[in-house]
Amino acid sequence: MKTPIGFIGLGLMGGPMARKLLQAGYPLVVWNRTAEKMKPLVAAGATPAGSPRELAERAEVIFTMVTDAPQVREVVLGEQGVGHGAKAGTVVIDTSSIAPSAAREIAEELARRRIHMLDAPVSGGPEGAARGTLSIMVGGEEEVFRAVLPILQVLGKSVRHVGPPGTGQLVKLCNQISCALNLLAVAEAFALARWAGADLAAVREVLLSGAAASWMLEHWAPKILSHDYQPGFTIANFQKDLRNALQEAAAGKVPLPGTALVHQLYRANEAAGESQESTVAIYKVLMRLAGEPA
């Protein structure tokens, strides 16, 4: 029989990730703060739990995919958290995006209870979650990582152990920095092209054929072309990651001027009431600065 798995947090990312595990034949127990989100997975064969603690009593490997560090602490270390129901040797895999320091602190507390923890943030969006093609960067004990690697490979096309506890979250911040600056570059190129009256679709095709080609240009630039600002990943969540990156950099006195600029541009989105829109809405900020409608 396959390893019983628990999954906490069934939102845009957690829902399809949990479904992939269920489709792979793993016995799955689920919990979500909004119980309504459990129903599709329960209908597909998952077992609902009344709390993270109850879920942990039934699972040997437990995934969490929640908003930020306070939510991870609550579902893992709170009064009804995983830490009160999990047996010694249980593996908690946090796929949320939180600060590296928070990941280390939670891992240390669980270790005192003889519970293992891996910080394993993901990249690839809801589409990658549904297809099982996520990029997963994992921090924690390598022996524990190797033990659960077959499970992680159900969810990710690229699954890499990158170092001790907290390192997975650090690499995720590096990923977000690269994404943010790449997205700004695409938005700036489109803003200039639009001002000049160029065909943005043609501009994209030309850029894709040369050194400027990128994942953002291929997959997210079409959202700018169609004025589609519905979120796959919201500005609010991206701002959380950029804040964590800037705080981590401040601790090490590492200058991140580009990251700080993008963070401020997204603050303009937030001020305009656009925090729940897609991160491609940075293009709207640039157009407004140019005195043009987005």
Residues with a known catalytic role: 172
* Residues paired with residue 122 on neighbouring β-strands, in sequence order: 136
Measuring CA to CA, which residue among 191, 183, 189 is closest to residue 290?
A: 191
* Measured distance CA(119)–CA(172) in Å, rounded: 10
Burial 208-242 (b: 16+ CB within 10 A, else e): eeeeeebebbeebbebbeeeebebbbbbbbbbbbb
Element (H, E) at 116: strand 116-119
Element (H, E) at 280: none
Largest CA distance in the chain: 64
* Measured distance CA(214)–CA(219) in Å, rounded: 9
* Measured distance CA(235)–CA(262) in Å, rounded: 11
